[in-house]
Copies of this chain bind each other. A is one copy, B any other.
């Protein structure tokens, strides 16, 4: 395998992740919706799956417990989700979308999809498949190191 020095993996990932976040941030601002990309991820998960515990949200979005806890704090403060202590296991809190939260989903869904499609401009279906495969493998490689 050849050298990988000319373009640095960390740099490529970091730079593109950052501009992706910025783009989504601008999209929400354009729509006059006061959420961040991370908050969108949580709202979107709740929309797809319904009520979830913070632990479940964390597992599915690969974020740790403190991070999820604080993102939920902010979403509760904005009135987009609500916390309810679960009866069956009072360690858990059930997180669910409020009506306001559902409204936010409605407002943003189309633009989010459009932006995701835009990110694949000038790239083929084959590129899409390759990218998914490669970035998953890179993830696994790092996972093995940890």
**Hey, which bits of chain A sit against chain B, CB under 8 A?**
1-2, 4-5, 7-24, 26, 37, 41, 61-62, 113, 115-125, 127-128, 130-132, 134-146
Contacts and interface: CB of A to CB of B under 8 A. Distances in A.
20 contacts: A1-B120, A4-B116, A5-B113, A7-B132, A12-B132, A12-B136, A13-B17, A13-B20, A14-B17, A14-B62, A16-B135, A16-B138, A19-B142, A19-B143, A20-B138, A23-B142, A119-B138, A121-B137, A122-B137, A122-B141
B123 A131 contact: no
Contacts of A23: 142, 145-146
Given A26-B145, A128-B4, A20 B16 contact: no
A5 B25 CA distance: 19
A35 to B, nearest CB: 14
Q: Is the interface of A mostly helix, strand, loop or mixed?
A: helix
Contacts of A127: 130, 134, 137
Total copies of the chain: 2
Nearest to A139: B16
Closest 9 CB pairs of A and B: A13-B17, A17-B17, A19-B142, A23-B142, A121-B141, A16-B139, A15-B62, A131-B134, A23-B145
Contacts of A142: 16, 19-20, 22-23, 118-119
